[in-house]
Amino acid sequence: MTTQAKWRAEDWMGMWAVAVIGGGMFAFRQLAIVPRATVGLCAAAGAPPICTPRAEVLWLQYIHGFGWAALVLGLAGFILGNRWLAIAGIAIGIAAVVNYNATMGIMGAALGLVTWLSLVTGRVKVSGRFVLKKSAAKDF
């Protein structure tokens, strides 16, 4: 059994979005969080503007916000068969792994990836709000 993948414009936009969000989070972490000098800069009076988003990212990391967001988005995309929710689950899942929220981030990214690939290959069809699985008898 072979299934031809049919990439549409929104799939290419999804690949771009995953790369930008995942790569952007990696770059932000390497430039604003990892260097030891930023700790001293952000603790001092008159901290530079980069310290506010740095603090927010560290807070979300601490409460596992990235992991939970990825899991919710990936699960919603999986249940509803929604391509953009699945793509968001993958992108935020990568951001979660970069920020050490890997347990839930990987699950959300995996659910999003399964959904996205199922939609691209036509293994499932979406009708309205519900996913209709193809009949196994039609595959033979």
Q: Could you tell me which of 91, 90, 93 has the C-alpha nearest to residue 104?
A: 93
pTM (2 d.p.): 0.85
Q: What does the pLDDT look like over 38-80, one tens digit per residue?
A: 998 999 888 999 999 999 999 999 999 999 999 999 999 999 9
The pLDDT value given to residue 137:
47
Answer yes or no: are the C-beta atoms of 100 and 91 closer than 8 Å: no
Please compute the mean of the pLDDT values over residues 18-41 and round it to a whole number.
Answer: 95
pLDDT attached to residue 132? 57
Three-class HEC string of 46-105: CCCCCHHHHHHHHHHHHCCHHHHHHHHHHHHHHHHCCHHHHHHHHHHHHHHHHCCCHHHH
Q: Could you give the CA distance from residue 1 to residue 133 in angstroms, rounded to a whole number?
A: 16
